[in-house]
Copies of this chain bind each other. A is one copy, B any other.
Amino acid sequence: MQSGRTSPRPRERIVSTARDLFHRRGIRAVGIDTIAEVAGTNKTTLYRHFISKDDLIMECLRSRAEEARQSWAEIEASSPEDGLAQLRFWLARVAKRLANDCRGCEFTNAAVELTEEDHPARKFIEDIKTEYRDWLAKLCRKAGIARAELLADTLSILLEGARASRQSVGPEGPSSRFLAMAEAIIESFRR
């Protein structure tokens, strides 16, 4: 891998490298020295931009959250006025992501690793997950589904489970049928 020295400034390289390493190897398993080295910089520079490892972790989560919000906007822009098409586009995206990434959700994994109850990441994760659920509920409402909140909850949990299952059981396990399950559930809610 290695982000190299190509990207613009050290700060961005550090964040993208940290996100990648945290995601693939785990947050506690990756040291500051490794991040700095892979990012093509050094520990001193890293600590000029982030006051602590926790600070860097938070920045990684914020970065991921921003990416997610952007993705939601893209989905809404894909076929404006057609909620159902948006919902289907969301499902397609999410299924593709599930197929390509075997390490699950960055937020969920962070919640597994960062167990101190007062860790700022915990509240952040709770908030972004809730934001996701609310956005999905809005999408379901726009799609004209009656019990939109319940569908949003069901799809949230199904996706969460598929990503977790993919990570622990592998791609041949129950998660391989995620798309069919989600489609069937959406269909059953439309009636």
Contact = CB atoms under 8 A, between A and B. Distances in A.
Contact of A167 (B108, B178, B180): B108
Interface string A72-86: 000000000000000
A9 interface: no
Contacts of A115: 24-26, 29, 103
Interface string A143-176: 0000000101110111111101101111001110
Contacts of A138: none
Interface residues of A, number: 46
A106 to B, nearest CB: 11
Oligomer: number of copies:
2
A168 B125 contact: yes
Nearest to A181: B154
Given A28-B29, A29-B115, A173 B129 contact: yes
Contact of A161 (B25, B150, B157): B157
Nearest to A189: B184
Given A152-B174, A156-B174, 7 more contacts: A108-B164, A108-B167, A125-B168, A126-B173, A153-B174, A154-B181, A160-B174
Contacts of A28: 26, 28-29, 113
A188 interface: yes
A90 interface: no
A150 B177 contact: yes
B160 A111 contact: no
A85 to B, nearest CB: 24
